[in-house]
Amino acid sequence: MASLTKNCCRLFMASVCLCLVSSLAELQRFTQQAKANGSLSFLVVGDWGRKGLYNQSQVAYQMGSVGERLDIDFVISAGDNFYEDGLTGVDDPAFEDSFSNIYTAPSLQKQWYNVLGNHDYRGDVEAQLSPILREKDNRWLCLRSFILNAEIVEIFFVDTTPFVNEYFINPKDHTYDWRGVSPRDDYLANLLKDVNSALKKSTATWKIVVGHHTIRSAGNHGVTQELEMQLLPVLEDNNVDIYINGHDHCLQHIISTDSLIQFLTSGGGSKAWQCDVKWWNP
Ligand SMILES: *[C@@H]1O[C@H](CO)[C@@H](O)[C@H](O)[C@H]1NC(C)=O
Ligand SMILES: *[C@@H]1O[C@H](CO)[C@@H](O)[C@H](O)[C@H]1NC(C)=O
């Protein structure tokens, strides 16, 4: 009897360990209720935090009005949340000056789901991920990569900055905060594996992937080759419907005959570019 109990105990412990390991490897999940009739609406904004300047406040005002008309359920930020160099720490007043005190319209008092952009990685990246910011403004939720289950749609948020070689090889006069990312190869391999397996398991009617960087874009930054090579095949394999990004400071909707994925850019949160088009021949 005694040895049986001991074996059971060992088995139990082994399974507890396995659970811990597998939950560590999985992307964190959040849930968002759809409306009573099953529909959902949300806004996406990227490239915004400039203390209201460069038309950030004007865009925020229009978001408030559109948000009310659409009766939005939540807001997505596609990254580059705080210019020029992210937040200096959890006490950086830019959090209030560029977020809480800017998006004040009643319709925008919903959950915000945020990813990081390259400019965010130039500051204290962990500040934006900190629960302290969620206490300061409970709309704020920023993680590197995570999943939002909203009944008819599952949204997969992917941390795209660590894919871009230039930030590592030729950072110019910028300093990137790679804490939590190195060793980079392992980070990227695990991320791609997690996104792939989460997409495979998904039974949602719509699958949307959100990242900061472009995959298809005719804007100034153009196509992000690292994502085209590494992330796009995962999206293609798993019948993703829509990829949404920021990075290029404009609005775009790109479809092509060689892919079923629709590519949306929403990077006009501030300092939107005019006539800054880089023609690209797919
Ligand atoms: C569901 O409700 C929302 C807001 O209450 C409305 O805007 C939308 O058109 C409705 N959708 C359907 C499919 O009835
Ligand atoms: C703000 O938007 C207006 C209208 O598009 C544009 O003419 C102006 O240059 C913008 N200002 C800044 C500082 O970006």
Sign for the CA dihedral angle at 113, 118, 121, 123 comes to negative
> How many A from CA of 55 to the centre of ligand 2?
6
Could you give the residue numbers annotated as active site?
A: 221
Name the helix (H) or strand (E) containing 197: helix 184-201
Do 185 and 165 meet the contact criterion of CB atoms below 8 Å apart? no
Which residue CA neighbors atom 13 of ligand 2 most closely?
54
SS3 content of the chain, % helix, strand, coil (to 5): 35, 20, 45
Q: Which ligand is nearest to the CA of 56?
A: 2
Is 136 a pocket residue for ligand 2 (Cβ < 6 Å)? no
Ligand-binding site membership of 194 (annotated): no
* pLDDT at residue number 276: 81
Q: Which atom of ligand 1 is nearest to 38's Cα?
A: 1
* pLDDT at residue number 79: 98
Residues near 251 by beta carbon (within 8 Å), at least 6 away in sequence:
265, 266, 267, 268
> How many A from CA of 245 to the centre of ligand 2?
22
Site to probe by mutation for ligand 2, drawn from 50, 54, 55, 251 as the one with most ligand atoms within 8 Å of Cβ, is: 55
> How many A from CA of 97 to the centre of ligand 2?
20
* pLDDT at residue number 17: 42
Domains and their CATH numbers in the chain:
25-266 (3.60.21.10)
Per the rule left: phi > 0, alpha: psi between -120 and 50, beta: everything else, 180 is: left
Dihedral pair phi/psi, residue 190, rounded to 5°: -65, -40
Which residue CA neighbors atom 14 of ligand 2 most closely?
54
Give pLDDT tens digits along the chain (282 positions). 334 444 443 444 444 444 444 445 589 999 999 999 999 999 999 999 999 999 999 999 999 999 999 999 999 999 999 999 999 999 999 999 999 999 999 999 999 999 999 999 999 999 999 999 999 999 999 999 999 999 999 999 999 999 999 999 999 999 999 999 999 999 999 999 999 999 999 999 999 999 999 999 999 999 999 999 999 999 999 999 999 999 999 999 999 898 999 999 999 999 998 668 888 777
Is 36 a pocket residue for ligand 1 (Cβ < 6 Å)? no
Q: Which atom of ligand 2 is nearest to 270's Cα?
A: 14
Site to probe by mutation for ligand 1, drawn from 39, 41, 72 as the one with most ligand atoms within 8 Å of Cβ, is: 39
Q: Which ligand is nearest to the CA of 69?
A: 1
Per the rule left: phi > 0, alpha: psi between -120 and 50, beta: everything else, 147 is: beta
Q: Cα 67 to the chain's mean position, in Å?
A: 20
Which residue CA neighbors atom 2 of ligand 1 most closely?
37
Is 29 a pocket residue for ligand 1 (Cβ < 6 Å)? no
Indicate the pairing of strand 111-114 with strand 74-77: parallel
Q: Which ligand is nearest to the CA of 250?
A: 2
